[in-house]
Amino acid sequence: MIKLGVFGVGHLGKFHLNNWKEISGVELVGFYDPDDSNAQEVTEKYQLARFLDPDTLMDACDAIDIVTPTPFHFAICEAAIKKGKHVFVEKPLAHTMEEARGLVKLAKESNIKMQVGHVERFNPAFLAVKDLELNPMFIEVHRLAQFNPRGTEVSVILDLMIHDIDIILTLVKSEVKAISASGVAVMTDTPDIANVRIEFNNGCVANLTSSRISMKRMRKMRLFQKDAYIGIDFLNKKSEIIKLKGPRDLDAFSFDLDTPHGKRTIAILNPQVPEVNAIKMELEKFRDAIVNNTPAIVSEVDGYRAMDIAHQILTKIKNASINA
């Protein structure tokens, strides 16, 4: 049985608690949160022990789950790794690149498992297509959210766009060649809306738009590759593939198109989307990595790579506004 403590039981921390309670092989030891009203609600609703000292909670655990605002990630991760505890930490991995580098080094030198909460890797719409032969040459992404003061301690790049950066880095097997970006701070002191173009050495181009000041929500990624279009709707948990009809697509909805190369039959496929709870699955995978001593699916190095691109984007936006 893995003894686990949760640090931070705000909005997302409560979702984690709900899931941890249902995950076998894990015993919830207690939580630490400096906010008295949040803590009281959790103690009553979950009948879970509140620890008033973070060290005492860590010492009583084999693993910890950090769901605090980003500026607190580093100190809690550092303390836990130094005590030899396994760590699940919400995205983004840390507040600064220096912190992120420090955590990657610490984790490498230790014998613990570390996983970062890039939960879209477990989104059913992504799971439905991730094992296909994906070789996108153009990627278009829209991640739009309504304004919410939660999460605004970091820019929209580190709050929302980082989800798509992480997914794109797993899909495109090539190094980043160039980044151009523009962003505007409207409601906060950091960019609330941004458009970014990432070029890869293999010629792939990703065009990402993220906003946290939109009227409606959207989380869509469209992949264009030589033989197919793949649409992933993270919000509505649906995906679709449009491609030249092949011998295995007999049941697919199809239609003919006249092209300069003659008649082509196009197939529209809706891959089977698994019925999974993404948060539960990512936490179960963290447990499995500890139990089986296997690599975490979204490691601290993945978290670092996504942060590295996010910070390069922020530097581009900053330089553009200085030169404007």
Ligand X SMILES: NC(=O)c1ccc[n+]([C@@H]2O[C@H](COP(=O)([O-])OP(=O)(O)OC[C@H]3O[C@@H](n4cnc5c(N)ncnc54)[C@H](O)[C@@H]3O)[C@@H](O)[C@H]2O)c1
Binding site for ligand X (CB under 6 A): 7-13, 32-35, 38, 67-70, 72, 90-91, 117, 119, 150-151
Report how far residue 49's alpha carbon sits from residue 320's, in angstroms, rounded to the nearest whole number.
49
Q: Which residues in 128-159 are b (16+ Cβ under 10 Å) and which e?
A: bbeeeeeebeebbbbbbbeeeeebbebbbbbb
Query: Residue 122 or residue 200: which is nearer to ligand X going by CB?
Result: 122
For ligand X, give the closer residue by CB, 69 or 271: 69
Comparing CB distances to ligand X, the nearer of 212 and 316 is 212
How far lies 99's CA from each of 92, 141, 156, 241, 304, in Å? 11, 28, 19, 40, 10
Dist. CA 97–CA 61, nearest whole Å? 28
Name which of 169 and 204 has its Cβ closer to ligand X: 169
Minimal distance, residue 92 CB to ligand X, in Å = 6
DSSP designation for 273: P
Nearer to ligand X, 86 or 245 (CB): 86
Cβ closer to ligand X: 151 or 303?
151
CB of 164 to ligand X, least distance (A): 12
Q: Shortest Cβ distance from residue 220 to ligand X (Å)?
A: 16
Report in angstroms how near the CB of residue 14 gets to ligand X at its nearest. Answer: 8
Q: How far is the CB of 25 from ligand X (least distance, A)?
A: 22
For the bound state, the minimum distance from the C-beta of residue 209 to ligand X, rounded and expressed in Å, comes to 18
DSSP-derived 3-state class of residue 61? coil
Report the distance separating Cα 190 and Cα 183, nearest Å.
9
| Cα-trace Rg, the chain | 21
User: To the nearest whole angstrom, how small is the minimum distance from the Cβ of residue 218 to ligand X?
Assistant: 15
CA angle, residues 238, 241, 243, in degrees to nearest 5: 170
Closest residue to ligand X in the complex (CB): 10
Closest CB 19 distance from ligand X, rounded Å: 13
Count the residues in the chain.
324
Kindly report the number of other CB atoms within 10 A of residue 75's CB atom: 15
Minimum CB distance to ligand X smaller for 190 or for 225: 190
Q: How far is the CB of 248 from ligand X (least distance, A)?
A: 35
φ, ψ at 76 (rounded to 5°): -70, -40
Angle between helices 278-292 and 11-20 (to 10 degrees): 60
Number of helices (H) and strands (E), helices first, in the chain? Answer: 10, 14
* Residue 197: how many other CB atoms lie within 10 Å: 15
Query: Cα(209)–Cα(222) distance, rounded to whole angstroms?
Result: 12
Task: Compare residues 123 and 225 and give the one whose CB is closer to ligand X.
Answer: 123
- Between 70 and 115, name the residue whose CB sits nearer to ligand X: 70
